[in-house]
Amino acid sequence: MAKLKLEARQQPSALWSYASPLLALLCTVVIGVVLFALLGKDPVRGLLVFFWEPIRNGYAIGELVVKATPLLLIALGLAVCFRSNVWNIGAEGQYVLGAIAASGVALLADNTTGRWIVVFIVLAGVLGGMAWASLTALLRDRFHANEILVSLMLVYVAVQVLGYVVYGPWKDPQGYNFPQTKTFDAVTRIPRLFDGSRVNIGVVLALLGVGGVWIFLFRTRAGFAQQVGGLAPAASRYAGFSSRRALWTALLISGGMAGLAGALEVTGPIGQLTPYVPAGYGFAAIIVAYVGRLHPVGMVFSAILMSMFYIGGELAQSRLGLPKSLTGVFQGLLLFTLLGCDTLVNYRLRWVAVAHAPHEGGKK
């Protein structure tokens, strides 16, 4: 009798380590074709909706960039956390608090306000996200609470805070009883880069963030300390690196990036604070970070891919009559196929013979 067993490879292939996300994407596409066929839809048309429609013209590419910007910003912060062995799963809550803080400043604008307020709006978003992440850091630092559970539970608290302000004190009195703030004044809106497109300076900030995180992680002593603490905590302590500093640094950077994404979203494409600000970007960015191999450059491409899933899901709903939840299905497929591919890169499947135990009978 034999059974399958995972056996660690002595030397995993460097080529397949980098090619694994591409293989995972191919597997996702194949499974997607089967899924479309089972749902009675034309698989070719389904794939075109997901992978061609988002890039078929300049306007579509602009919308793709708009979707990719918050995903990339949040993923950059999460990459710092994950490389530091700090498991921030609550970036969605930090994103929401950044949006709330930025909206609070935007609502202060009046007819005499100048364009300088945009700087304070962005800073408020960053500080809001950092403040929310600091709650996780404080509970982990002082009380050894599990940061996975704390950060995740704080997402639901953030959503409740959002509900309170849009249903209560910030509700637009002229909004026909809809739970939303008034539309922000034009002076508070994030500047756009092109006429006729919703692409704004957020994409520039995201690309600057790519360069900044790359320099921090791979060209500074502080970034080296963060990664050593994540890979080998004992060696980090021996080298004199502070684990507390690494914890606070990782969570504050991650929270600040998520808060920045929230601020750019409400003062950019949305233009007001609504209960629909939580769009799942904080959770999708976890997939973006891992598909991008926790590398700033790799996450640029994975953020674009994930935004294609978002847009493709919306188009599949309107054009093919499929549920919008198909977006989450494709995101989950990509994550699980990536985990499977990574497992096979580092382990091999082997049939192992199982010896039968001797029968203990017949002896007197």
pLDDT above 50 (res 364) = no
Written out in words, the top-level CATH class of the domain with range 71-328 is mainly alpha
pLDDT in tens, 273-331: 999 999 899 999 999 999 999 999 999 999 999 999 999 988 988 888 888 788 888 99
pLDDT in tens, 49-69: 999 999 999 999 999 999 999
Q: How far is CA 209 from CA 67, 80, 85, 115, 206, in A?
A: 16, 12, 21, 23, 5
Structure tokens at 306: 């994930």
Q: What is the pTM of this model?
A: 0.92
pLDDT at 79: 97
Residue 74 to residue 278: CA distance in whole angstroms: 13
In one-letter notation, the amino acid at residue 271 is: G
pLDDT in tens, 7-25: 888 888 888 888 899 999 9
CB atoms within 10 A of CB 282: 29
Residue 202 to residue 28: CA distance in whole angstroms: 30
The CA angle 98-104-110, to the nearest 5 degrees, is 140
pLDDT in tens, 332-349: 999 999 999 999 888 888
Which of 80, 100, 261, 70 lies closest to 165, judged by CA?
100
Structure tokens at 138: 């404080």
In three-state secondary structure terms, 4 is strand
pLDDT in tens, 69-90: 999 999 999 999 999 999 999 9
Helix (H) or strand (E) holding 164: helix 147-167
